[in-house]
Amino acid sequence: MSTTAVRTGTPPTARERLGDFGWGTVPYLMVIPGLAFVLGVLGYAVAGGFWLSLHETDMFLMKTYVGLQNYIAVFNDPRFQASLVRTIVFVIASIALGIAMSMMFALTLYHVGFGKRFFRGMSLVPYFVSGIAAAVMFRFVFTTSGGFVNYVLQQLGLHTPSWLGDPYLAFMVSVLANCWFMVPFATLILLGGLQTVDKEIYDAATIDGAGPVQTFFKITLPMIKPMMGVSLIWVSYISFSTFDIILALTAGGPQRATEVVSMYMYQLAFLQLDFGQGAVLMVVLLLFNTVLSLFYIYFFVLADKRTEKGN
């Protein structure tokens, strides 16, 4: 190998220039196609929804501007009020149960001594089952004759209730089905959080005399706050916009016991063909979700990021 000659002469072509790492228009050209889809469809739909909520659609699909009339009608509608309350109860119950289960499963997967990978992989399976299929399966688990739960109860000689015929029980079952679907993802997020906690911290806490319960509440929970935030966003997002599960499980019944906002929205728009009021419910769903997500992001994710170094 010898000292070499540089290729001299030829002036740099445009392609050779530093433009590669420069500012220029290149990054915009790379970002715009994807954005066109996102804004073109989702943005357009959201904008269209707001527009629709201000209009009345008649039988011939002609639209007339009616201002806030749809909003007034919806907010005075007892059926909407009931569905809103039901949604809030549904979301709170799902969050409480879902986070508790996720935390329990995450701790279990964290501590399990054998087959770690297997159990982890298995725990995520429901995440890949469509909402409709999950609902159908849950129907067969809880159906009165032929359901798994009643099969077990029957074997034990216990009373076998009509799970999906009773308003309270049906509501409970839909919360359970919703949890079945959404807990796995939250579990793995929390598990990821648990794994980031340095084991020496637990040793230090033990030496400082903290018991398992204290360690969990004083050390583990605060340290996985950001992941807790992500799980909460996921769980509330899924619960708020739950639709396919309830549609295929109870279709809102019995006696509207499971008619949450998204179900009522579907009713209004697709069965009663009242697009204006349906769109109002869309706006309600959207706002609730956005506010809740921003709240979580602020409290759990950003609050911690601020003390770290941003990138």
Binding mask 179-198 for other proteins (x = CB under 8 A): -x---xx--xx-xxx-x---
Q: Does 100 bind other proteins (CB under 8 A)?
A: no
Q: Does 15 bind other proteins (CB under 8 A)?
A: yes
Stretch that binds other proteins, among 66-74, 78-86, 106-114, 165-173 (CB under 8 A): 106-114
Candidate list 85, 96, 112, 302; residue touching other proteins; CB under 8 A: 112
- How many residues of this chain bind other proteins (CB under 8 A)? 118
Stretch that binds other proteins, among 83-91, 145-153, 161-169, 213-221 (CB under 8 A): 145-153
Q: Does 90 bind other proteins (CB under 8 A)?
A: no
Q: Does 44 bind other proteins (CB under 8 A)?
A: yes
**Which DSSP symbol is given to 12?**
P
Q: Does 285 bind other proteins (CB under 8 A)?
A: yes
- The DSSP line for 67-131 is TTHHHHHHHT-HHHHHHHHHHHHHHHHHHHHHHHHHHHHHHHHHH--S-HHHHHHHHTGGGGS-H
Stretch that binds other proteins, among 78-86, 89-97, 164-172, 281-289 (CB under 8 A): 281-289
Supply the minimum distance, in Å, between the C-beta of residue 210 and other proteins. Answer: 12
CA–CA dist 238, 184 (Å, integer) = 12
Q: Does 119 bind other proteins (CB under 8 A)?
A: yes
Which residue matches tokens 């966003």? 233
Stretch that binds other proteins, among 73-81, 83-91, 144-152, 167-175 (CB under 8 A): 144-152
CA–CA dist 267, 118 (Å, integer) = 42
Q: Decide: 138 and 147 in contact? Cβ < 8 Å.
A: no
Q: Does 126 bind other proteins (CB under 8 A)?
A: yes
CA–CA dist 96, 93 (Å, integer) = 5
Supply the minimum distance, in Å, between the C-beta of residue 164 and other proteins. Answer: 13
Q: Does 59 bind other proteins (CB under 8 A)?
A: no
* φ and ψ of 95, to 5 deg: -65, -50
CA–CA dist 91, 288 (Å, integer) = 11
Contacts of 25 (CB under 8 A, 6+ apart): none
Binding mask 215-254 for other proteins (x = CB under 8 A): ------------x--x--xx--x--xx-xx--xx------
Supply the minimum distance, in Å, between the C-beta of residue 82 and other proteins. Answer: 19
- Number of neighbours of residue 262 by Cβ within 10 angstroms: 22
